[in-house]
Amino acid sequence: MSRKYIVALVILIAVGLGIGIGVLSFSPTPNPPQSNNATQHIDPDWTFPSESEPAIPLPDFRPVVAEVMPSVVSVTTETVVSSFFGQSTEYVAGSGILIDDKGYVVTNEHVVEDAQNIYVELADGRTFSANIVGTDPLSDLAVIRIDATDLPYACWGDSGSLSLGEWVLAVGNALEKGIGVTQGIVSSLNVSVTSGGNTLFGLIQTTAALNPGNSGGPLVNMSGEVIGIISVKIVASEVEGVGFAISSDEAKPIILNLIRYGRVTYPWLGVGAQTVNPLLAMSMDLPVDRGALILEVVAGSPADTAGLREDDIIIRFEDKEISDVVDLVQALRASEIGEEVEIVFVRGEGIKTISARLVERPTS
């Protein structure tokens, strides 16, 4: 038999037996065997789990914006600046809040500081000149007034009822582009921040984006109530979403005094102090690890008259425990000028009690 017939016969036999040779395999095994590794995770009855509860939707901010927007104003100030090249006019943009229908506007003290002229633009586009009613650098609050009536005004809220994680909106003239809104949450409460050599107390920290021009604008809750007045933002390359507002509870009595009297008076003890914490107590070998360590006693002050000295540690002021300087400042501000207060302090290894009669804080 010749070679070509032998090859043809082999091919025919192979096809007849169902043996695949290259592309000539036309008869694959109907049910190929499965290894244990391939089948151990198979579950023919698996389905996606059903949702036990519907997803909670994000809040609708539109009604809040509609409620508060008419009462928020843009504030622009003119300040004359002197330099080597002569005098020039500098314009500063900020925000404010109408707090009644008679033209009173709350803003920041640093917005109107040294201003020769102040202009207020309402949400409806009208612009008015404004006069300063009163300012308070210690709280960074100011009240100005425009000559207009029947104005939309903001509702005041209770900052004491705020909770961490609560939604808030910041409203203001950010970047001088008109009144806009950003959203965020309350990230911390009762915060103290030092800015420009002055310490602000009782602040609300928020993640709502704040930009130049937001200063003096409101921070509002989901009912459209003002629960803070935007004041400070930490600006650093490694910091994101850290802004602060003066709480409405801190601001209300100050605003009332500014409108009624044109200024704010504070009780004064006459000490400079530092917070005592465990690290400071260990490093200085202090007898207690909390309180307000007196660094300076002003001559002739109530503290000096009462007998307080440097290195004394105040641990109680009237009925309030003093754990840090913030506690001491808040206890002082809750007191009255002329009031005689009881102060408990640590001196050496002993605890002493004195009485001091508070006076009005000096203006300079």
Tell me the β-bridge partners of 246.
Answer: 203, 229
Average pLDDT along the chain:
87
Res 266 pLDDT > 80: yes
**Local structure of 305: helix, strand or coil:** helix
Residue numbers of the domain that contains 184 = 156-261
Q: Is 231 left (phi over 0), alpha (psi -120 to 50) or beta?
A: alpha
* DSSP reduced 3-state for 266: coil
Q: What is the rounded distance in angstroms from the CA atom of residue 216 to the CA atom of residue 95? A: 5
Task: Give the helix/strand (H/E) hosting 107.
Answer: strand 104-107
- For residue 126, is pLDDT > 90? yes
Last residue of a domain, one of 216, 246, 261: 261
- What is the reported pLDDT for 201? 87
Q: Is residue 67 classed as helix, strand or coil in its secondary structure?
A: helix
> Each residue of 292-328: pLDDT tens digit?
999 999 999 999 999 999 999 999 999 999 999 989 9
- Looking at 261, 289, 313, the residue that finishes a domain is 261
Around Cβ 282, how many Cβ atoms within 10 Å? 10
Q: With 0-12 CB in 10 A as exposed, 13-18 as middle and 19+ as buried, what is 26? A: exposed
Residues annotated as catalytic are: 110, 140, 215
Predicted confidence at residue 46, as pLDDT, reads 87
Assigned token pair, 163 = 């909770």
Pairing of the two strands 225-233 and 155-156: parallel
Residue 247 CA to residue 259 CA, distance in Å, equals 18
pTM of the model: 0.77
Give tens-digit pLDDT for 88-108: 889 999 999 999 999 999 999
Domain with residue 298: its CATH number is 2.30.42.10
Q: Which of 239, 216, 234 has the alpha carbon at shortest distance from 226?
A: 216
Boundary-marking domain end, from 261, 295, 325 = 261
Q: What is the pLDDT of residues 207-263, one digit of tens each?
A: 999 999 999 999 999 999 999 999 976 655 455 668 999 999 999 999 999 999 999
Say yes or no to pLDDT of 4 above 50: no
- CATH at 99: 2.40.10.10
